[in-house]
Amino acid sequence: MKTPICFALVFLCLASLYADDTQALPLISQWRVRDPVYLQYRRQIDALGPKLSTMTEEQITESLTVFAYRTQSTDDFFVLAAPTSIETLATINRLEHPSLGKEQRALLLPVMRGLFIPDNPVSDLEKLMFASRAGNGVPLLINGEAFHFIREAKFNSNEFAFFLDVNGDFAFPLTQYRISSDFGYRVNPVSGIFRMHEGLDLAAPAGTEVFAARTGSIIELGYNAIFGNYIVIQHSDGWSSLYGHLSKIETTLHSAVQKGTLIGRVGSTGQSTGPHLHFELRKDGKAFDPKHYLSKVER
């Protein structure tokens, strides 16, 4: 358990480095050796690298300096991460994926390799890291936010999968199916009521394998009168997916799943007239037509 004195030491050493913006930090103007600040950054990384594994928490606190860099439209995340690591650049800047975008953005560049885990995780990736590592590492205060730094730590396979899942198309949850009901208004085949159908119905033989459409974490599963056996997966950027009428659930609550992970099997539980998968995609709670986001729908 970290003492208040240790946290205070870290705060005093880093407070001058981490202002509300990056103006107080050594600024790298160009990502090349002829930039003197970039050269200084690389030299500090090389000097500390062999010592990092044996340094005390106090030595880490004293030696952890941070540089800043404002990205250009042509910059590549993996090039910028090369001097330290993917994990270092991603976690100190609280990035959810490697896409930097075309607009300029300020990045923090620490001279030590490792994971910066926020004490108040927000994204799915941060929550995943926090769940398995809460309280580990050296406490730091960065831009007014509390972190724990774990030296030389790497993403595990699930965390790495979360980070690399860059807002692309969702994979189709079945390998064999027939679209039996589209997204949109229809007469409900059970109740006879004309109402909005907020997903796709995919007819398939009972027991057909159902796969996660995208990397995420299981936030809800169980049984209700409408969807029968169902699963909800939370993805990044406010997206979630729902899988209903399952004959069997093949996953557990709060588990992390990758795109293509087996999560259940097609059934006819709940309000259903035959074996099929009811599949929904939602962003911030609002339903969207899965056909616009699935990588393959023609069957």
Q: How many residues does the chain have?
A: 299
Answer yes or no: is 169 within a domain: no
- pLDDT band, very low/low/confident/very high, at 56 (cuts 50, 70, 90): very high
Same domain, 52 and 157: yes
CATH no. for residue 274?
A: 2.70.70.10
- pLDDT (tens digit per residue) in 57-81: 999 988 999 999 999 988 889 999 9
Q: How many CB atoms lie within 10 A of CB 69?
A: 24
* pLDDT in the model for residue 165: 61
- What tokens were used for 244? 């209903």
263-273 core/surface letters (b: 16 or more CB in 10 A; e: else): bbbbbebbbbe
Same domain, 154 and 184: no
Q: How far apart are CA 103 and CA 109, in angstroms?
A: 18
- What tokens were used for 192? 């006879």
- pLDDT (tens digit per residue) in 182-221: 999 888 887 788 889 999 999 999 999 999 998 889 999 9
- What tokens were used for 66? 């941070």
**Checking phi first, is residue 39 left (phi over 0); if not, alpha (psi -120 to 50) or beta?**
alpha
Residue 176's alpha-carbon distances to 41, 52, 59, 198, in angstroms, are: 53, 52, 58, 21
Same domain, 126 and 189: no
DSSP code string of 251-279: S-TT-EE-TT-EEEEEB--SS-SSSEEEE
- What tokens were used for 32? 């090349």
Q: How far apart are CA 153 and CA 151, in angstroms?
A: 5
Same domain, 159 and 184: no
> Amino acid identity of 53?
S
Answer yes or no: is 173 within a domain: no
Q: Find how far residue 116's CA is from the centre of its chain.
A: 14
Same domain, 275 and 139: no
For the chain, the domain total comes to: 2
* pLDDT in the model for residue 2: 43
**Spatial contact of 233 and 217, defined as CB atoms under 8 Å apart:** yes
Domain that holds residue 65: 4-164
Q: How many CB atoms lie within 10 A of CB 93?
A: 18
pLDDT at 136 over 50: yes
Contact residues for 24 (Cβ-Cβ < 8 A; gap 6+): 16, 17
- 6 — phi, psi (to 5°)? -60, -45
Same domain, 78 and 195: no
160-181 core/surface letters (b: 16 or more CB in 10 A; e: else): bbbbebeeeebebbbeebebeb
Q: How far apart are CA 223 and CA 34, in angstroms?
A: 62
pLDDT at 96 over 80: yes
- Mean pLDDT throughout 32-41? 95
Given 138, 164, 190, the domain boundary residue is 164
Same domain, 154 and 194: no
Answer yes or no: is 154 within a domain: yes
Q: How far apart are CA 98 and CA 82, in angstroms?
A: 13
